[in-house]
Structure 1
Amino acid sequence: MNMVEVTNLTKKFGSFTALDQINLEVRSGEVFGFIGPNGAGKTTTIRVLLGMLKAGEGEAKIFGKDAWADAVEIHKRTAFVPGEINLWPNLTGGEVIDLFVRLRGSGNKSRRDELIERFSLDPAKKCRTYSKGNRQKVALIAAFSSDADLYILDEPTSGLDPLMEQVFQEYVREAQAAGKSVLLSSHILSEVEKLCDRVGIIREGKMIETGSLNELRHLTRTQILLQTKQPVTGLEKMTGIHDIQDTENGLLFQVDTEKIDPVMRHLSSFGILKLESAPPTLEELFMHHYEGGSGAGGGQ
C-alpha cells in the first residue's frame, strides 16, 4: 500500500512552473528521501501534499485521500516538521509542544518527557530565547510525541548539531520499525543515505530519477585504488575511465559502474597486488545529475 501518491503533479505561479509533471510514491513502512537543492521544488511539493497549496494539474493523495479536499482528515494521521520554525515568542517550549500534541489529540506525557531529555531541550524557556536549533527541537519533539502514520519532514535537522542529528536519526528508525512511513526532504546527503530506503531526485521542478540507492548508483562512478606487479598500460583508452592519477599509494581512478567488469579483466593481466573500491556516495550521484546539464532522464 502507498501512503503517498503523487501523479503528474504540476504547479505554476504565474508564468513560472514550480512543479512539472511530478510523480512519486511513499510506501507503507518506508523512509523516502526527497532530495534536491533549494528552489528545486521540494517544499512546494510538500505544501501541496499538506493541502496548503492547490495543484494546478495532476493528483496528490495521502492515505488514498485527496490532499486538498481531505486535508483535515489527512492531518489527523500526519505529523509535519518544516525547515523554518516560527513559534509563539511568549510561550515556553514545553507549552508549545503540549499545544501541538493536544491539537493532534494524541501523544503521552512519558513519551514527551523522554524526547525532551534526549533532545536536550529546556522546556521552561520562552520561545523567543531559543536558537534556530532549539526551535527545530520543539517541532521534532512535538512530531515524534504524536502517534502519526506518516511523518513529513522538510529539512528537519536544519540548525541541529551532529549529536542531535544522531538522536533525530534514531527516532526516524524507531518510527519506521513501528510501521510508520516517513517522507524526508533534505539536502544533507549523508543523512538521506543513512536513513532512506528509496530516494527521489528533483531538479528545477522535475523528477530526475527515483529508486533505491543501489538502483541509482548505476548512474555514477566507483573509485578504484590499485597496486599491480607490472605498470598498467592501456587504461586511459578504455571507455568509462575517468580522472586517472598516479599517487604514492597506487593508481587512483574512477570507473563508470557498468564498466567495472571489462576494466577488472584488463587490470588482472598486470598482477593485482592491492585493490580498493569505494561505492559512489549519494553526494557523488547527486553532483553527477546536477553538473551533467540534462542529467539522466532529462533534467531540463
Structure 2
Amino acid sequence: MTHKFIPDCPIPFAGSQVDFAEMERGEARLMEHPKASALLFHKGQVATDGPALLRAAPSAIASLPLMDPGLIFLGLEEDGDPVFAASLTDDSQLPPDSLMDLRMHGHRLTPDALAVAGRARSIFDWHRTHPFCAQCGAKTASAEGGAKRTCASCETEHFPRVNPVVIFLIEHEDSVLLGRGHGWPPGYYSALAGFVSPGETLEEAATREGMEEVGATLSGHRYLFCQPWPFPSQLMIGLVSQAADKTIIVDKNELEDACWFTRAEVDAVFNKTGEAFMRPMRTTIAHQLLRAWLSNQ
C-alpha cells in the first residue's frame, strides 16, 4: 500500500491562528479587554480541559504567585480577543490532573491549541534561562508583554532566540537510514539531526552531521518543510539527503545505533502491519518526513 502524503495541516506546533500583534504589546488596554484570556502553565506543563486549553481571565490570576516574567502577551485571536499566558509557582489553583506534558501528549490537543501552547512554552523557557544581561551581568526585567528583557544597568535589550536545527532523512535507492539516541525507548528510531553551526548553510550542516554521526557521504539535499519545536526553542528544518552508498560507521558517542530500512518496512510500520521500528510520534517532524518519503516527495 502506498501512502498519499497529506501533511498534518498545520504541521504540529505550527499554524497558529493567533496574530502576534507585535505593535500592540505595550497596550495596557489589552489586559482590560472583557474577553481577554490566559493559558495556565506549571513547570513547563500546560493546563488543559480535554482537547482544549484551560483558560482564565488575566485579572483573576494577576494576583497569584507567578514565575518570572508574570503574564506574557501571546497575541490576538481571530476575533480580536487578546490571549496571554502565565506560569504558576504551584498547581494548587488548577483542577486535578489538568496539566499536560506537551512533548508526550500534545497530540491530544487541537492543532491551534498545540501551536499557541508551544509558543508560550518557548517564551517561558527563554525567560527562565535569561534572567541576567549578557552584556554586563546585571539582572534583567521583562518588558512589552514578555517580548523582550531589558537591562536597567546598561540599557541593553534582549530578545528571544530560535535555534536552527537540520533534521534529515538519508536515503539510498529504496531505503532510508534512521538512528536512535542513547536512552531512547526500545525500538524507537528517527531521522538524524543537528544544530546549524555559525558559518554553515543548511546543506553544509546536514553533510557534516551525516559524516560525524554515521560516516555517510551526503549530497543532493532537498528541503521539504520546517517545524517550530518548543523543547526548548528550535526551528526543525526538514531535509531529505542522498547517500553515496549504504556504508555507515556509527559514532557510538553520538548514537546508540543506526539502521537502513526498506520502503516496505517503513510502510508496514505506518500501516501498523510491521514492527521493524517504533514509529516517531505524530507531533514530530520526523513522522512527517517519513510520511513524505513514503509518498515519494
Structure 1 or 2: larger helix share?
A: 1
Give the TM-score normalised by the residue count of structure 2: 0.25
Bigger Rg, which one:
1
